[in-house]
C-alpha cells in the first residue's frame, strides 16, 4: 500500500499561503457583494460562525407560516433558526418587528423585557405615505429591513437574476394596455395619469376598484396578452418599486409603463430598455402616441433582457427573515435609529 505524507512541509506552507490569501481576498469579495444589487444572497450559501436565532415577534399581517425543519437552509442560509415563540425573547440573537401591527396597536414592543444589547430589527414594505406613527419608535431599532437599498437588510420586491436555460416565449399580444388597481383615490398621481392617458389609449382596468378582481391564479394569464402594463406605484418614494413591476409586468411578460421613483432608480434594478417611464414624456398624450405607434421590432427590444435574465420574486417572509442571518456579520454594531421617521421619510 502506498503511504501518503499528508502534511509535508511544502503542503503546510502552501496551505498557510492559501489561508492568508483567503483572508486577504474574502473581505473584498464580501464587500463588493454587499454593495451589488439584489437581496442578501442569490446562489451562495452563507455560513455564519455560530447558530443565530431570529425571533419573529409577530407575523406580518397576522399570517403565520410554518417554521418546521431548517427553513433557512432551504434559502441557502446555514446556521439560522427562525422562531415565533415570544417566550424565547431572552435567547434570541435578534428580534424582528413588522411595522403594520405596531402602527395599528395590535402589538406592543416588549421594551421592559428587552435583554441588554439585543439587536432589534424594524421591517416594513409599505411606502412612507402609508406608514404612520413612526415618531413613537425613536432610539429603539438597531437595523432596518425594507425595500430601500440603503437598508441594513435590503429586501426588494423582486430582482433580475442570471437565467438558466432558454427564456419561455412571451404570450402573443392582441390587447393594448392593462391596469390592476384595488385602491383608487382621486388624489393619487397614478389616478391622474391614468385618467389623462385613458383619453388617448385603450386601458383595461381590473381589480377591486373597478369591481373586476382577479384571483391570484388568474392575474398573470389575464395580463399576458397585453402589450403594456401600467406599473404605477400608489405613491412615489425613493426606491419604492413593488410587485406591480416585478410580478404584474415583467413576470407576466408585459412591457411595464412605470410611475414611481425616477428613471435612474429603475435603471439600478433593470436594463434601461426594459421599461417605459412616464417621466420620459411631457404629456399623457405624447406617451399614448408613443405606445400606439410602436412597431413590432421596437416592441421586441423591450424583451431583450429575457435572453440572459429572469425575474425573481420575493414574497415569502421567511426568506426575508433568514436574510437577517445572512447579513448579520456585515451589520453595523452599536447602530441605533434615533429618528426612524426622519430616515424613512428622507
Shortest reach from residue 180's CB to ligand NAG, in Å: 18
Q: What pairing do the DSSP bridges indicate for beta strands 309-313 and 158-162?
A: antiparallel
Q: Which stretch binds ligand NAG (CB under 6 A): 73-81, 103-111, 120-128, 290-298?
A: 290-298
Site membership for ligand NAG, residue 199 (CB under 6 A) = no
Site membership for ligand NAG, residue 298 (CB under 6 A) = yes
Site membership for ligand NAG, residue 289 (CB under 6 A) = no
Shortest reach from residue 174's CB to ligand NAG, in Å: 4
Identify whether 101 is a catalytic site residue. Answer: no
Q: What is the 3 state secondary structure string of the chain?
A: CCCCCCCCHHHHHHHHHHHHHHHHHHHHHHHHHHHCCCCCCCCCCECCCCCEEEEECCCHHHCCCCCCCCHHHHCCECCEEEECCHHHHHHCCEEEEEHHHHHHCCCCCCHHHCCCCCCEEEECCCCHHHCCCHHHCCCCCCEEEECCCCCCEECCCEEEEECCCCCCCCCCCCEEEEEECCCCCCCCHHHHHHHHHCCCCCEEEEEHHHCECCCCCCHHHHHCCEEEEEEECCCCCCCCCCHHHHCCCHHHCCEEEEECCCHHHHHHHCCHHHCEEHHHCCCHHHHHHHHHHCCHHHHHHCCHHHHCEEEEECCCHHHHHHHHHHHHHHCCCCCCCCCHHHHHCC
Q: Which is nearer to ligand NAG, 41 or 289 (CB)?
A: 289
**Residue 223: is it exposed, middle or buried by C-beta count within 10 angstroms (0-12/13-18/19+)?**
buried
Interface with ligand NAG in residues 17-76 (CB under 6 A): none
Interface with ligand NAG in residues 137-176 (CB under 6 A): 174-175
Instruction: Tell me the site size for ligand NAG, rule CB under 6 A.
Output: 6
Q: Which is nearer to ligand NAG, 290 or 343 (CB)?
A: 290
Q: Which is nearer to ligand NAG, 3 or 174 (CB)?
A: 174
Site membership for ligand NAG, residue 297 (CB under 6 A) = yes
Q: Which of 44, 101, 126, 286 is catalytic?
A: 126
Shortest reach from residue 306's CB to ligand NAG, in Å: 20
Q: Which is nearer to ligand NAG, 206 or 246 (CB)?
A: 206
| Grid cell digits, residue 181 | 388597481
Q: Annotate each residue in 106-125 with x if it binds ligand NAG (CB under 6 A) or - if it does not, as one string.
A: --------------------
Q: Which of 37, 110, 128, 225 binds ligand NAG (CB under 6 A)?
A: 225
Q: Which is nearer to ligand NAG, 175 or 189 (CB)?
A: 175
Q: Which stretch binds ligand NAG (CB under 6 A): 88-96, 133-141, 291-299, 311-319?
A: 291-299
Q: Which of 3, 32, 295, 333 binds ligand NAG (CB under 6 A)?
A: 295
Give the residues lining the site for ligand NAG (CB under 6 A): 174-175, 225, 295, 297-298
Residues tagged active-site? 126
Amino acid at each position: 500500500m502506498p503511504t501518503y505524507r499528508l502534511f509535508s512541509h511544502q503542503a503546510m506552507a502552501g496551505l498557510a499561503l492559501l489561508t492568508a490569501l483567503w483572508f486577504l481576498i474574502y473581505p473584498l469579495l464580501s464587500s463588493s457583494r454587499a454593495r451589488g444589487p439584489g437581496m442578501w444572497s442569490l446562489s451562495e450559501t452563507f455560513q455564519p460562525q455560530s447558530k443565530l436565532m431570529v425571533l419573529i415577534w409577530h407575523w406580518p399581517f397576522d399570517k403565520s407560516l410554518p417554521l418546521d425543519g431548517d427553513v433557512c437552509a432551504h434559502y441557502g442560509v446555514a446556521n439560522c433558526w427562525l422562531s415565533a415563540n415570544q417566550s424565547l425573547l431572552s435567547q434570541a440573537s435578534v428580534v424582528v418587528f413588522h411595522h403594520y401591527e405596531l402602527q395599528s396597536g395590535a402589538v406592543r414592543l416588549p421594551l421592559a423585557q428587552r435583554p441588554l444589547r439585543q439587536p432589534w430589527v424594524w421591517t416594513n414594505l409599505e411606502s412612507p405615505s402609508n406608514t404612520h406613527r413612526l415618531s413613537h419608535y425613536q432610539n429603539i431599532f438597531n437595523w432596518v429591513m425594507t425595500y430601500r437599498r440603503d437598508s441594513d437588510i435590503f429586501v426588494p420586491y423582486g430582482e433580475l437574476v442570471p437565467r438558466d436555460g432558454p427564456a419561455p416565449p412571451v404570450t402573443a399580444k392582441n390587447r393594448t394596455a392593462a391596469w390592476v388597481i384595488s385602491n383608487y383615490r382621486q388624489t393619487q398621481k397614478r389616478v391622474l395619469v391614468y385618467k389623462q392617458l385613458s383619453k388617448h389609449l385603450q386601458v383595461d382596468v381590473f381589480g377591486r376598484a373597478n369591481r373586476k378582481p382577479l384571483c391570484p391564479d388568474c392575474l398573470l394569464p389575464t395580463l399576458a396578452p397585453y402589450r403594456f402594463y401600467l406599473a404605477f406605484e400608489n405613491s412615489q418614494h425613493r426606491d419604492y418599486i413593488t410587485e406591480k413591476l416585478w410580478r404584474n409586468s415583467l413576470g407576466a411578460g408585459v412591457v411595464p409603463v412605470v410611475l414611481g421613483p425616477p428613471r435612474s432608480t429603475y435603471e439600478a434594478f433593470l436594463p434601461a430598455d426594459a421599461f417605459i417611464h412616464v417621466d420620459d414624456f411631457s404629456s399623457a398624450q405624447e406617451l399614448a402616441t408613443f405606445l400606439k405607434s410602436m412597431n413590432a421590432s421596437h416592441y421586441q427590444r423591450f424583451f431583450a433582457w429575457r435572453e440572459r435574465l429572469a425575474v425573481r420574486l420575493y414574497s415569502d417572509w421567511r426568506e426575508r427573515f433568514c436574510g437577517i442571518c445572512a447579513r448579520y456579520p456585515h451589520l453595523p454594531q452599536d447602530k441605533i435609529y434615533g429618528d426612524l421617521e426622519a430616515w424613512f421619510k428622507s
